[in-house]
Amino acid sequence: MAPVAGGGIAGSVRDSLVVAKRNLIRMMRIPEMVIFGLIQPIMFVVLFTYVFGGSISVGGSTDPQLYREFLMAGIFAQTVTFATAGAGAGIADDMHKGLIDRFRSLPMARGAVLTGRTLADLVQTALTLVVLAVVALLVGWRTHEPFGKVLAGFALLLLLGYAFSWIGALIGLSVRTPEAATSGGLIWLFPLTFISNAFVPVQGMPAFLQHVAEWNPFSATVQAARELFGNTAGQQMESVTGAWPMEHPVLASVLWSVLIIVVFRTLAVRKYRSATA
């Protein structure tokens, strides 16, 4: 029988930080995990900027600079959500190797294993965003709001990434292999990110997709980041369908992310307990 964890909230926080530290050390010892995680978003920045930058109309203009400013919030949001696959694969790998069973034999809070893992993934995502922002600046992206607002925009992006890492945790606990977790973590992300306002204006979509895109949690964060970065030049910021999240994107972004964390953390911790019972 597994030891019973004690210490209440303080003990749970301490245990979570210990697990997070363990995962961060592992990441530092395997730097290719971080390097390969950077390649895809950098490719997206370069390809979308130089391949589509002069052909996609934003506010009736095909000015490449307008598209850069329109695009970058979407690329940042896609990057933080695509970390979902890595989170799921990492947890599935720990399950497959029996590491989770060893954690379970210790007197630690049951949710600490998952919380620590998601916190470590959040740190890696933050580092990725820093590098990606530098690349974006190099290709011509600029912000037009005070530094505090820009930081708030990145904070919303990280909150969305943290929320989605709990979806990845649930997926990782629900499959048998890391490969299945990677596939399961990506297959639904592509329609989520592309049926949104991330890469093209919603106005050009069919009417039924406009409703889907504007109620998409991903779109709310992208819209909020654009406003906080000041990347709204030439854009129609009003909702096409009258959707509440597009009219109040910052508040909607926070609410969507918190809701996802509450729901999927509850489901993931419950799955963790049943999977290791």
What integer is the mean pLDDT of 137-162?
94
Q: Report whether 150 contacts 228 (CB < 8 A).
A: yes
Model pLDDT, residue 3: 44
Q: Say whether pLDDT at 142 is over 80.
A: yes
59 against 68, higher pLDDT:
68
| Of 61-65, 69-73, 117-121, 225-229, the least confident | 61-65
Report helix angle 147-174 to 112-138, nearest 10.
130
Instruction: Return the minimum-mean-pLDDT range out of 92-101, 135-144, 224-233.
Output: 92-101
250 vs 7, residue with greater confidence: 250
Residue 1: the pLDDT is 40
| String of DSSP letters for 20-41 | HHHHHHHHHH-HHHHHHHHHHH
Angle subtended at Cα 46 by Cα 44 and Cα 51, rounded to the nearest 5 degrees: 95
Phi-psi bin for 7: left (phi > 0), alpha (psi -120 to 50), beta? left
pLDDT at residue 27, as a whole number: 79
Q: Is residue 4 scored above 70 in pLDDT? A: no
Average pLDDT, the chain: 85
- Compute the average pLDDT of residues 48-70: 77
CA pair distance 196, 4, nearest whole angstrom? 45
Buried b (16+ CB within 10 A) or exposed e, 229-245: bbbbebbeeebbeebeb
pLDDT (tens digit per residue) in 88-107: 888 888 777 777 777 766 77
pLDDT at 206 exceeding the cut of 80: yes
On the 0-12 / 13-18 / 19+ scale of CB atoms within 10 A, 220 is buried
Q: What burial letters (b/e) apply to 38-75, b meaning 16+ CB within 10 Å?
A: eeebbebbeebbeeebeebebeeeebbebbbbbbbbbb
pLDDT at 263: 96
Q: For residues 8 and 39, which has the higher predicted lDDT (pLDDT)? A: 39
Residue 235 or residue 149, greater confidence: 149
Paired with 61 in beta bridges are: 58
Residue 5's pLDDT band (boundaries 50, 70, 90)? Answer: very low
Confidence of residue 25 (pLDDT cuts 50, 70, 90): confident
Q: How far, in Å, CA of 89 to CA of 131, rounded?
A: 23
% the chain with pLDDT above 70: 91
Cα separation of 38 and 27, whole Å? 14
Mean pLDDT of 164-180: 88
| Residue 7 pLDDT greater than 70, yes or no | no
- Does the pLDDT value for residue 132 go beyond 80? yes
